[in-house]
């Protein structure tokens, strides 16, 4: 049951992934789905569609940050809800770019809603919790551990219709989300500049398992559900 009275209510609510998506989960989705979510913001529940995660390195290059912003703006202008993890680098660029053009964004946190990581994103998190939506699977008072950010990435893949990796090294946490998206049968896109980097091993591996090269953000729209699709609340 959704403990969040109406859309636009900015108090902390508790709900299930089924509530959030407006439909039952299949067996594959259930495997890593958190039992409970904590949410704060003004985006309607169940979530509007389509939703795309934009993720990548915390220590991103200037080109990666620029590209993340461009991708976010192109998709947000097409009414796509941009999902990311509030981390430094690519995540922050995606959130900021979406907000700048009046789009909608969702931050999936690796911490409880009353904490911010990194701390310099405090103002951004507060804005998202007020005007957009922040989601955490960790209750207030929970002690954050490194593995929680892996769990966060799995949840991001679960609530998104597709994931785009903009820039990531071989040990980037974003790779957890990429593999989870593929496991779930979601579309996974790898930004073109990554595939040109012959020093990276993971892009080739993911391409062999169904990932798609992306050179134009608009191409993502062909793989997304209609924004008019009505959730199944059975």
Residue 36 lies in a domain: yes
Helices (H) and strands (E) in the chain, counts: 9, 9
The count of other CB atoms within 10 Å of the CB of residue 62 is 7
Secondary element (H or E) of residue 213: strand 212-214
pLDDT (0 to 100) of residue 19: 97
Residue 177 lies in a domain: yes
Q: Going from the first residue of the chain to its last (234 residues), give the mean pLDDT of each consecutive group of 10, the final group possibly shorter.
A: 36 94 97 97 95 96 97 98 98 98 98 96 97 97 95 98 96 95 98 91 95 97 76 41
- Please state, in angstroms and rounded to a whole number, the distance separating the CA atoms of residues 201 and 191: 15
Secondary element (H or E) of residue 91: helix 90-100
Q: Name the residue range of residue 38's domain.
A: 13-223
Q: What is the CATH number of the domain that holds 93?
A: 3.40.50.450
pLDDT (0 to 100) of residue 198: 87
For residue 160, give every residue at least 6 positions away whose Cβ sits within 8 Å of its Cβ, in sequence order, or none: 51, 52, 53, 83, 181, 186
Residue 228 lies in a domain: no
> Count of domains in the chain?
1
pLDDT (0 to 100) of residue 227: 63
Residue 7 lies in a domain: no
Residue 106 lies in a domain: yes
The count of other CB atoms within 10 Å of the CB of residue 1 is 7
Strand partners, 162: 52, 187
């Amino acid at each position: 049951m959704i403990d969040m009275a109406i859309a636009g209510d900015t108090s902390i609510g508790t709900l299930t992934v089924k509530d959030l998506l407006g439909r039952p989960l299949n067996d594959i989705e259930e495997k890593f789905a958190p039992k409970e979510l904590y949410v704060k913001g003004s985006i309607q529940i169940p979530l509007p569609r389509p939703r795309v995660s934009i993720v990548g390195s915390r220590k991103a290059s200037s080109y990666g940050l620029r590209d993340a912003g461009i991708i976010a703006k192109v998709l947000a202008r097409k009414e796509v809800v941009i999902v990311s993890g509030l981390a430094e680098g690519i995540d922050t660029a995606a959130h900021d770019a979406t907000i700048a053009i009046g789009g909608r964004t969702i931050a999936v946190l690796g911490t409880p809603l009353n904490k911010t990581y990194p701390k310099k994103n405090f103002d951004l998190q507060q804005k998202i919790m007020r005007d957009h939506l922040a989601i955490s699977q960790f209750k207030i008072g929970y002690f954050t551990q490194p593995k929680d950010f892996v769990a966060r990435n799995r949840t991001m893949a679960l609530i998104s219709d597709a994931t785009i990796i903009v820039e990531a090294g071989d040990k980037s946490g974003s790779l957890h989300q990429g593999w989870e998206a593929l496991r779930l049968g979601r579309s996974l896109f790898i930004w073109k500049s990554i595939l040109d980097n012959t020093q990276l091993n993971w892009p080739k591996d993911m391409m062999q398992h169904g990932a798609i090269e992306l050179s134009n953000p608009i191409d993502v729209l062909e793989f997304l559900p209609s924004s008019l699709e009505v959730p199944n609340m059975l």
